[in-house]
């Protein structure tokens, strides 16, 4: 929220939606697609798509703006299990 409220360039670039997390996703894949660091070269298109989805989901889940709703979902699920 700080970046959004201060109209930081990252907030503008990512349309005020989880700017740090969005930047981290972009930076991760920017680095990963560099031949020197790309360990996914032998992945099929489907494997890469699934891997990319998982990484993006994990990074975006670190957004504190959605923390409490995710925590509530987790608690609700854990109550059903127990």
pLDDT along the chain (82 residues), means of 10: 90 92 96 95 97 96 87 88 63
Structure tokens at 20: 């740090």
Q: 13: Cβ–Cβ under 8 A, 6 or more apart, which residues?
A: 19, 22, 23
- The torsion of the CA quartet 23, 59, 2, 6, rounded to 10 degrees, works out to 20
Distance from C-alpha of 22 to C-alpha of 66, rounded to nearest angstrom: 14
Position 67 scores a pLDDT of: 84
pLDDT at 54: 97
DSSP conformation letters of 21-69:
HHHHHHHHHHHHTSTTT-TTTTS-HHHHHHHHHHHHHHHHTT-GGGHHH
Answer whether 0.85 is exceeded by the pTM: no
């Amino acid at each position: 929220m700080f970046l959004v409220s201060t109209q930081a360039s990252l907030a503008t670039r990512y349309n005020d939606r989880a700017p740090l997390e969005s930047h981290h996703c972009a930076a991760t894949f920017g680095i990963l697609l560099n031949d020197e660091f790309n360990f996914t070269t032998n992945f099929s298109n489907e494997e890469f798509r699934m891997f990319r989805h998982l990484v993006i989901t994990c990074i975006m889940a670190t957004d504190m703006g959605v923390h409490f709703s995710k925590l509530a979902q987790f608690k609700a699920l854990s109550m059903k299990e127990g």
